[in-house]
Structure 1
Amino acid sequence: MLHIKKILILITTWFMAMSAYPQLVSTENIDVVIANYRASLNTNPKKAEEAAKKWLQISTQQNDTLSQARAHYALANVGTVLGDYKLTIKHADITIELLTEVGLEKGISACYNLLGVSYKNLGDYPRAMDNFLKCLAFAKKNENKVQQANAHQNIATLYILQKKYTDAAKNLDRAASLYRETNDDDGVLITLFNFANILKEQGRYEEALKQYQTVLEYRKKEGNKAAVAYVMINISQILVDQERYQAAIPRLEETLKLLEELHFNSDMAIVLNDLGVCESKLGNTQKAIEYYERSLSIGESLSLTNYNTSFYQNLSDLYEKQKKYKKALFYYHKAVDISLASRALDKEKYVAELQEKYETELKETKIKLLEKDKKLNEIELEQATSDVKKQRLLRNIFIMGFITLVGVLFLLRYFYLQRISAQKELAAQQEKNARQEINQLIRDHKLSVIERYQKGQEEERARLAREIHDGIGSDLAGIKIAFEHYLETQEDKKRGKRLLQAIDSSCKDVRALSHQLHPPSFSKIGFESFLKDVIEQFSLHNNLICNLLLYPKEEIDEIPEQILAHVYRIIQELLNNIAKHAKATEIEIQLTKHKDYLNLVVSDNGVGFTPKKKPGIGIRNIQERIEKLKGTIEIDSSAQSGTSIAIDIPVKID
């Protein structure tokens, strides 16, 4: 899990670019130094360290506290990159002091983030968690979503180290969500990387390799060598865990070369140790020893206590294989000493925790004793006041009896008034109910009149349709047949054909008029087909563009014919009104079947109109049909956008 600290390396450079920091240092020299630092942080950390020191020197000479704080933070950041965590802790603490001095809290969360990473890599996980939580608190206080995400990201890495993968995944999800809110693609990549770490720790190597490969491709495109190095470390470690030592060695050597270029010393120690493991497993004992000794040299110089135990133990085992028992014993004692020192530190922490628990319990015991004394005093006070209460009791009984009598009288009067009020309310409600019944009867009568009127209309239309179809239609059909026979005997047929076409057109018009007056059963021809023919005829006769949309067609055809008949008449009335008054060039008709109702929308691009208090005959007919169907109508009209009429009709008949 040594690779996890790369998170801070990739994200903490944000602090140096925070908009909260005013650029008080404006001299050309310091601007150049800062630019050099930023440019070389992830490619040449040693050069970045020199630039940060120069930055601090100039800021101190100018007595610029804020610039000094930023320079100390830069040095702390470089320490993290180089693996010199004690240097990071030193400069991060100074940065917090200086920012507190100038009253600027926005940068403090990033400092606690660096401290948390440093303590984690030094093996002090409790202090690491404490600093990550401080980072999170300051970030929330200052509404800094990026640092909140960074804190959750690093808390997740601690949980991964403790094999608490569920808690780790929850924190990674929070971090990813915050990164997406701030459009931080780099943060999202880091989250993906850590999800891959969880898969790796769970032994799901193939899934982990796929995610690592995705991150690696993006990092290579960015040219971020530091990020590339950390991904390669983990890919190599998977090969080691799978005991594919021969395949792991080239990967590890490539990674080591990149880390040497970047001067990432602490990570070099890890990779050297992995190389030692591979060479040892392949039987190259001497080469393995050389790698272990190099890793130990770096670990001792950087005080990597957490890893030095493993380095010592590995060397001890290899020297034992070579029968160099003196050296084997020497490194074994070193491993034991570090382990004992670590346990001693754990014991000190345990004793401190016990001491704290003891003091807390002692305080709680004192509080309980004080509470008991308080209760005893209260009992004595109650006994002293008991006699006084007895003396007052007789007097109070008399007073309460009198008050009770007066109260009863008041209650009787109150209930009497309430009863009168209830009777008035009941009478008013009965009157209201009577008015509602009268109104309902009026509405029912009105609907009955409308229904009889519409029924009469339909019957009259049916009669006219039959007369037109059976009378005029039949006559025209006979004339057409006779004229066709006559035309066959004539030599000049051109003029006759034109007359024949006119007669044929008249036949179609008469048939269309008959269908409009009394349409055939929709179940036979389909409502959409019928409506489409009607609208096409309307478009031709009125020189208008009509667009028709029915959805879903099959469900509309299943609606009861009596509802579809009303819908057809409403559409017919609306089209006639548009043709007469709207001066429109285009009409759109949408008929949509929903679960419990049918929605009709008819729109035009005409001149619009102002709805009157008393509507015209056409609109009134439409309203009466809708009222009968218990539907609703909304009219939206203006001179700029024409008229749109929306109608909802229930499809369930009571």
Structure 2
Amino acid sequence: MLGISLSISAQTTEDKLLDSLSGAYSRNLHTKPQAAKEAALQWLKESRRLNKNLQEAQALYALGNLANIMGDYKSTIKYTNETIALLKASNIEKGLAACYNILASAYKSLGEYPKSIDNFMECLRYARLTNNQVQEANAYQNIATLYLLQKDYKKSAENLDRAAELYRIKGDVDGEFTTLFNFANIYKEQGKFEQARKHYQTVLEYRVKEGNNAVVAYININLSQMLVLEGKCREAIIALKKTLVLLEELKFHSDIVIVLNDLGLCESKLGHTKSAINYFQRALAIGEKQSLFQYKSDIYKNLAQLYEKENNYRKALEFYKKGVASVAEQNSLDKEKYVVEIQERYETELKEAKIQLLEKEQKLSDAELQKAELTVKRQHVLRNALIAGFILVLISLVILRLSYVKRLRIQKELSVQQEKYAKQKLSEMMKDHKLSVIERYQEGQDEERSRLAREIHDGIGSDLASIKIAFEHYTEQHEEDLKSKRIATAISNACIDLRSLSHQLHPLPFSKIGFTSFLSDFINQVIKKSDLNIQTYLFPREDIDLLPDELLADVYRIVQELINNIIKHAEASHADVQLTKHKDHLNIVVNDNGKGFQKSKKQGIGLRNIKERLQKIKGTLDIDSNSGHGTSITIDIPTN
């Protein structure tokens, strides 16, 4: 934990309680973060009740460390500052290095680089003061990530080598694997994907065996991002969706933003505009809530471009303005990063100069050393002031120029927007009217299906049942007549087919019969009656069955229509039907290996019916098909 030991001759009941809460936190830290948080909060509460300052400090550090892992950096800063204050009040130096390390890491993630480097320096100072080589190595690791952000790969690798050497001296295997992970990050940033992938796989195997889900998620994010950079967007989407599920379980908000942003980029490159907008909007919502600014300007620009493709110029202009404002904010952050880089290099050179000075001139008096240090500090302050002033003037001129150009462009776009606003309002009114017509049409269609199902069941079904009973009496008297038996079997099969047709036309409420079971029965009947092999994936079945009957009825009609289209038109031998219930939507994917079709070709009645149903329930449809390469249809239906 903090590296603080407590000697106790005999454990009391209170001590056992605190130790059990500490153990629960440690066991769940990397696998069940929410359970670890609950244990740490209870640990903090009991420590304060029992007035045990050391246990309180350890519990506060645990909460800060967990918040840092989960991406809640504001909570990290709050809890860690409370830990530092408590340790200093108790005159305890051991543990301060660890506190300053995660505090610096949180500031780095929030983009506050000057504060980050100041706290890393404090970490190094206390690590050397308390001879804590592990925390010293951790500080070098994190300083290496700062250099990586500035694309100074040489300095980043040098700091990682220092960390690795210290980990080897201490025999810290976990630290060595963390160093290997950061080396993989350097290779990824340099575009050396094969070398990076090799390192990531090595670390992944170790973390999977260890059960460290947090690091497993981080590695999968980086592997997915390399697929994006290599242009393998379809493979990247599959990997990113799996990683997103794991991150949502862990509630790692900052990493969820990264994955949603990458999913938006992939969908945008594949031409799936609506899906891309959805992912970018979700990323933006989480990022603003968690004060994560790294991706804001890029997300705003991407959304503006996507809405422009959708001819939604009002939205495009809104996000374009936000992007311009965010660029100015990002320029300020870039200035801070540049100043930090100069400070770090200068401080490193200053330390090396001091070491050489001490080796060559050991007889120098303390007064002369203090005078030399004071001179260096004055030069440092003067140099930083000159650099900061120059950068501020330069940035101000650039911002003024950009603002003038953007203002002219925005004024021109506003004039065009006003002309199109009236057309947009008219289009919305027509859309509302069309939705009303579609709903009435589908209600009438469902009523007609219900009427036909009753007619079939009560009329033809009853007559066929009577014929079956009468013929069974006949066959009892002619048991040896094979032709009679064949006719009896045919009548029985006709009864079964008639009942199945009646249920398909108007199924019972799905809450009574189980939607997934009903859908599986329907697909099995299709397989028996055709040459089409259908593989079904329904997950999780329990959550799907709990959806409203009205929604499930539409889902059933959509899947039924898609399968019928495959049988009638695709000339396919195999198909996949996949239903996945997510937190706020139901995802339907239907694939086949048939002959495909051209999107430009006039669409049939079946596909129009599907689109009308989706329009009614605000669902989205994406078709990926080419002649001779099969068809893939993806549907997302909101469940809120």
Per the normalisation by structure 2, the TM-score is: 0.51
- 1:307: Cα distance to partner? 2.1
Shift in alpha-carbon separation, 1:89–1:21, aligned structure 2, 3 A: farther
What is the match of residue 220 of structure 1? 208
3-state DSSP class of the match of 1:58? helix
Shift in alpha-carbon separation, 1:72–1:250, aligned structure 2, 3 A: same
| Partner Cα separation in structure 2 for residue 40 and residue 216 of structure 1 | 19
What is the match of residue 313 of structure 1? 301
What is the match of residue 20 of structure 1? 5
- Assess if the C-alpha contact under 8 Å between 2:185 and 2:196 holds in 1: yes
What is the match of residue 291 of structure 1? 279
- 1:202: Cα distance to partner? 0.7
3-state DSSP class of the match of 2:77? helix
- 1:360: Cα distance to partner? 5.0
One-letter amino acid matched to 1:117: S
What is the match of residue 174 of structure 2? 186
Aligned 1:412-561 pairs, distance under 5 A? none
1:333 is aligned to 2:321: yes
What is the match of residue 119 of structure 1? 107
3-state DSSP class of the match of 1:305? coil
- Assess if the C-alpha contact under 8 Å between 1:44 and 1:263 holds in 2: no
- 1:134: Cα distance to partner? 1.2
| Superposed CA offset, 1:532-574 (max 9, x none) | xxxxxxxxxxxxxxxxxxxxxxxxxxxxxxxxxxxxxxxxxxx
One-letter amino acid matched to 2:283: S
| Partner Cα separation in structure 2 for residue 46 and residue 270 of structure 1 | 21
1:324 is aligned to 2:312: yes
1:131 maps to which of 111, 115, 119: 119
| Superposed CA offset, 1:607-636 (max 9, x none) | xxxxxxxxxxxxxxxxxxxxxxxxxxxxxx
Shift in alpha-carbon separation, 1:157–1:22, aligned structure 2, 3 A: farther
Aligned 1:245-256 pairs, distance under 5 A? 245-256=233-244
| Partner Cα separation in structure 1 for residue 162 and residue 337 of structure 2 | 31
What is the match of residue 142 of structure 1? 130
1:231 is aligned to 2:219: yes
- Assess if the C-alpha contact under 8 Å between 2:120 and 2:139 holds in 1: yes
Shift in alpha-carbon separation, 1:218–1:349, aligned structure 2, 3 A: closer
3-state DSSP class of the match of 2:316? helix
Shift in alpha-carbon separation, 1:169–1:57, aligned structure 2, 3 A: same
What is the match of residue 247 of structure 2? 259
What is the match of residue 197 of structure 1? 185
Shift in alpha-carbon separation, 1:344–1:271, aligned structure 2, 3 A: closer
| Partner Cα separation in structure 2 for residue 125 and residue 241 of structure 1 | 27
| Partner Cα separation in structure 2 for residue 203 and residue 233 of structure 1 | 16
Per the normalisation by structure 1, the TM-score is: 0.50
- 1:19: Cα distance to partner? 4.9
- 1:362: Cα distance to partner? 14
| Partner Cα separation in structure 2 for residue 50 and residue 317 of structure 1 | 43
| Superposed CA offset, 1:276-323 (max 9, x none) | 110110011101111111111110110001222222222222112212
- Assess if the C-alpha contact under 8 Å between 2:4 and 2:95 holds in 1: no
- Assess if the C-alpha contact under 8 Å between 1:122 and 1:305 holds in 2: yes
| Partner Cα separation in structure 2 for residue 349 and residue 279 of structure 1 | 32
| Partner Cα separation in structure 1 for residue 311 and residue 42 of structure 2 | 52
What is the match of residue 95 of structure 1? 83
One-letter amino acid matched to 2:309: K
What is the match of residue 242 of structure 1? 230
One-letter amino acid matched to 1:300: E
One-letter amino acid matched to 2:64: A
- 1:254: Cα distance to partner? 1.1
| Partner Cα separation in structure 2 for residue 197 and residue 141 of structure 1 | 31
1:84 is aligned to 2:72: yes
Q: Which runs of 4+ in 1 moved over 3 A?
A: 19-28, 341-354, 359-364
| Partner Cα separation in structure 1 for residue 380 and residue 240 of structure 2 | 56
- Assess if the C-alpha contact under 8 Å between 1:82 and 1:264 holds in 2: yes
Shift in alpha-carbon separation, 1:241–1:22, aligned structure 2, 3 A: farther
What is the match of residue 397 of structure 1? none
Question: Please, which runs of 5 or more residues in structure 2 have no aligned partner?
Answer: 344-374, 383-640
Question: Please, which runs of 5 or more residues in structure 1 have no aligned partner?
Answer: 1-13, 365-654
One-letter amino acid matched to 1:236: S
What is the match of residue 402 of structure 1? none
What is the match of residue 37 of structure 2? 49
| Partner Cα separation in structure 1 for residue 204 and residue 266 of structure 2 | 23
3-state DSSP class of the match of 1:163? coil
- 1:131: Cα distance to partner? 1.2
- 1:21: Cα distance to partner? 4.7
3-state DSSP class of the match of 1:294? helix
3-state DSSP class of the match of 2:294? helix
Shift in alpha-carbon separation, 1:83–1:350, aligned structure 2, 3 A: closer
One-letter amino acid matched to 2:225: Q
- Assess if the C-alpha contact under 8 Å between 2:113 and 2:336 holds in 1: no
| Partner Cα separation in structure 2 for residue 124 and residue 363 of structure 1 | 20
Shift in alpha-carbon separation, 1:361–1:138, aligned structure 2, 3 A: closer
For these two proteins, the number of residue pairs brought into alignment is 347
| Superposed CA offset, 1:23-81 (max 9, x none) | 79843332222222112111121222222221111111122222211111111112112
- 1:204: Cα distance to partner? 0.7
2:196 maps to which of 203, 208, 213: 208
| Partner Cα separation in structure 2 for residue 237 and residue 363 of structure 1 | 41
Shift in alpha-carbon separation, 1:346–1:253, aligned structure 2, 3 A: closer
- Assess if the C-alpha contact under 8 Å between 1:113 and 1:151 holds in 2: yes
- Assess if the C-alpha contact under 8 Å between 1:20 and 1:106 holds in 2: no
3-state DSSP class of the match of 2:257? helix
- Aligned residues: percent identity? 51
RMSD (CA atoms): 2.8
| Superposed CA offset, 1:252-273 (max 9, x none) | 1111111112111110110111
Shift in alpha-carbon separation, 1:274–1:342, aligned structure 2, 3 A: closer
What is the match of residue 64 of structure 1? 52
Shift in alpha-carbon separation, 1:236–1:178, aligned structure 2, 3 A: same
| Partner Cα separation in structure 2 for residue 135 and residue 255 of structure 1 | 33
| Partner Cα separation in structure 1 for residue 247 and residue 121 of structure 2 | 31
- 1:148: Cα distance to partner? 0.8
What is the match of residue 557 of structure 1? none
- 1:348: Cα distance to partner? 9.3
